[in-house]
């Protein structure tokens, strides 16, 4: 079977979810390609996956503010980002659906797919060009759900998809859930999904286990073991979104430095540690990059921005969270964390070291959070693997 995966050119959308799906399909003997923007091509090819580069689909950091404003009505300009200070103004509203980019993705993908001849298309939640291409080409469609709550941020999604369908000569549909196709792979158990999001075709699978052939960073492996360990990481996108004047990372380091813990804080890529001009408490290890999936099971609390991938990593390891939402679907994700008793949601607006420290300490000292996270971990362990998803895809064209 020839399976074409589609995803936006965002590392956190592709590497933790679509790459493992591709590998599972390859192990079952299927031909697999991944269609996405050119920005992540080299990374994907390093994983042994054929990449079909789609023109006109930039990575978020490549999109001009003017284009975003014209397409979505949201001012996402560089000038605005340089002023964003979540510790003052709270989560950043970012566009999560672009009609222009979806139209470009679909148009180019249709041509690419005709040449590659897939039998099934599998898209990730945020990428709709694959849906439109599957409709035009008459192919079975499935979805890997990497952002279950994100459609709540686009209340007119059905209307916007119907506009795009009309331009391709396709009939209108009653609901955006038509874009989920025949099979949706939920990467967390059903308990994560509110009732209104438990759509037909939704099945649940266990995301790929952490695979890292490298040993843990020796400096982290040698940290003293006489105190609880807290990992603080705000994801791969936060650091280029933060305004230059933001003190979020300073607040984070100061808060953890005030607690009886050992902490690891990921400051961001490149020479972030060398450029760091903030506090350096003795109990806080600063690093530019952390092997999150490898380390998180050894942690007592995960301080996270609430991206779906990070939440999945934390729950797969049974680690409770202090969740500080920063943008996109993270406010909804972190609210869900708190609703399910898996951690504490912290409001970034008005954040101080004391309030953040208090919320981390609460998760550390109240056993209910760890018990809930461990219980959720057991639910995850009871799910079938991505190998089962690959097998289920084989039945779509039956």
Domain at 26, CATH number:
3.40.50.2000
Q: In which domain, by residue range, is 290 found?
A: 218-381
**CA 152 to CA 157: how far, in whole Å?**
9
Q: Are residues 118 and 164 in the same domain?
A: yes
- Is the confidence at residue 120, as pLDDT, over 70? yes
Q: Are residues 18 and 123 in the same domain?
A: yes
Per the confidence metrics, is the pTM higher than 0.85? yes
- The residues facing 302 across adjacent strands are 231, 321
Q: Are residues 338 and 247 in the same domain?
A: yes
The residue to which tokens 């060398």 are assigned: 274
- Is the confidence at residue 263, as pLDDT, over 60? yes
Domain assignment of residue 81, yes or no? no
Q: Are residues 105 and 125 in the same domain?
A: yes
Structure tokens at 298: 């050894």
Predicted pLDDT at 356? 99
Q: Are residues 40 and 189 in the same domain?
A: yes
Mean pLDDT computed over 126-131: 98
Structure tokens at 146: 């990497």
| Strand duo 120-124 + 301-304: pairing | unpaired
Which among 125, 96, 4, 64 has a CA at the least distance from the CA of 393?
A: 4
Helix (H, G, I), strand (E, B) or coil at 184: strand
Predicted pLDDT at 69? 47
- Quick: pLDDT tens for 37-51: 998 888 888 889 999
Query: Rounded to the nearest 10 degrees, how much is the dihedral formed by the CA atoms of 86, 339, 306, 367?
Result: 100
- Is the confidence at residue 241, as pLDDT, over 90? no
- Is the confidence at residue 190, as pLDDT, over 50? yes
Q: What residues contact 105, with CB distance under 8 A and at least 6 apart?
A: 6, 54, 56, 57, 127, 128, 129, 130
Q: Are residues 303 and 258 in the same domain?
A: yes
Length of the chain: 398
Spell out the SS3 assignment of 256-278: HHCCCCEEEEECCCCCHHHHCCC
Q: What residues contact 317, with CB distance under 8 A and at least 6 apart?
A: 296, 297, 299, 377
The total domain count for the chain is 2
Q: Are residues 236 and 337 in the same domain?
A: yes
Q: Are residues 194 and 225 in the same domain?
A: no
């Amino acid at each position: 079977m020839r399976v074409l995966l589609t995803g936006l050119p965002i590392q956190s959308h592709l590497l933790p979810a679509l790459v493992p799906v591709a590998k599972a399909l390859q192990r079952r003997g299927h031909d697999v390609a991944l269609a996405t923007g050119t920005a992540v091509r080299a990374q994907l090819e390093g994983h042994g996956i054929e990449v079909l580069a789609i023109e006109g689909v930039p990575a978020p950091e490549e999109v001009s503010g003017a284009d975003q404003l014209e397409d979505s009505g949201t001012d996402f300009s560089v000038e605005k980002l340089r002023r964003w200070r979540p510790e003052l103004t709270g989560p950043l509203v970012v566009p999560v659906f672009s009609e222009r980019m979806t139209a470009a993705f679909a148009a180019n993908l249709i041509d690419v797919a005709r040449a590659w001849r897939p039998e099934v298309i599998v898209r990730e939640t945020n990428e709709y060009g694959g849906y439109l291409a599957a409709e035009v080409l008459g192919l079975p469609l499935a979805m890997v759900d990497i952002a279950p709550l994100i459609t709540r941020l686009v209340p007119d999604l059905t209307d916007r998809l119907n506009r795009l369908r009309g331009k391709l000569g396709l009939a209108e549909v009653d609901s955006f859930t038509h874009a989920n196709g025949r099979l949706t792979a939920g990467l967390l158990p059903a308990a994560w999904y509110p009732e209104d999001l438990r759509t037909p075709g939704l099945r649940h699978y266990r995301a790929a286990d952490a695979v890292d052939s490298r040993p843990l960073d020796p400096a982290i492996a040698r940290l003293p073991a006489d105190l609880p360990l807290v990992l603080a990481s705000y994801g791969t996108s936060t650091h280029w979104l933060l305004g230059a004047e933001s003190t979020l990372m300073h607040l984070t380091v100061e808060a953890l430095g005030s607690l009886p813990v050992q902490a690891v804080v990921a400051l961001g890529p490149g020479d972030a540690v060398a450029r760091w001009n903030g506090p350096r408490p003795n109990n806080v290890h600063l690093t530019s990059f952390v092997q999150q999936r490898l380390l998180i099971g050894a942690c007592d609390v995960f301080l996270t921005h609430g991206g779906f991938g990070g939440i999945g990593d934390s729950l797969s390891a049974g680690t409770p969270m202090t969740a500080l939402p920063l943008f996109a679907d993270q406010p909804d994700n972190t609210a869900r964390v708190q609703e399910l008793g898996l951690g504490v949601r912290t409001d970034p607006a008005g954040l101080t070291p004391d309030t953040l420290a208090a919320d981390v300490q609460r998760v550390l000292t109240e056993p209910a959070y760890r018990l809930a996270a461990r219980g959720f971990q057991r639910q995850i362990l009871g799910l079938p693997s991505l190998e089962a998803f690959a097998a289920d895809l084989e039945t779509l064209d039956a």
